[in-house]
Structure 1
């Protein structure tokens, strides 16, 4: 199970799983499917109302808002700090005929960090990927946060030609011994062969 101490940690893990589920199901998942994914990420369902479900762990609150042809999940710090809140949106874009999963700041005016996250874009007919998202699960290391990606994601990232760009903030990555460290946000990216 990934570590989810910050909104971005939950958003990355859920986006990765939604990408796989859209390809597997050949369409958007249901609200119940997304609720199960959140529970598998260690969130506890604390409230369900009409058109809304609230989940939380010790550090992050997730609001699931399934709509017609769209899934919205807001991730908030349980401290109440809105500046690092994120919104994950999954929908079908009729104009480009693709499914899209994107992670956006909930409040762009207050968001304290740069966000360089590539959206997941999946062809609506072939269900092949049209973008190069670098998504995985976070783990809290001894002195840094580590983003673990699988080999498939690494190969896509390599194909994009952007191995020197941080998938979280868009900053510069320095590679050493198979690991990349962002010089701006401090995230370490590793390829997890067991992922």
Structure 2
């Protein structure tokens, strides 16, 4: 039976990623996010409106989405728990600059974005962007096609009282749900 559960935040295993962006104080920077989705060539994500990342993305209107596997959870935690600091100077955050944006070399996939629209709502900024380029680790390609079984994204689940990172343990494909 479903019952009411009053909480301000609740996440049901959403993919976690690191956003790369231009930063007026540090040149470039990163932060962690788990509130995002894509449809076709559009990518949407949200951040607290009072964060350095949100303010920089509102100013520069471009960024990257970097997807990492479980071996890089220390980067995910660090990027999300040190707001307003120069994180790309840490050696864990090896990166390249592609089209003037930071892309983490440890990522198994990255998206380059141009932000088209923003909406502030109840202390959050919702960013709607179009994907200008998709980058994928060549190990996730088979015969020139994307091999979804080759990647293991990390999910985030939790509420105000707890957080858990989840990694898929098995691969289910249509017709193979038993």
Structures share a fold, TM > 0.5? no
TM-score (norm 2): 0.29
Richer in strand (by share): 2
Which protein has greater RCO, CA pairs closer than 8 Å, 6+ apart? Answer: 2
Richer in helix (by share): 1
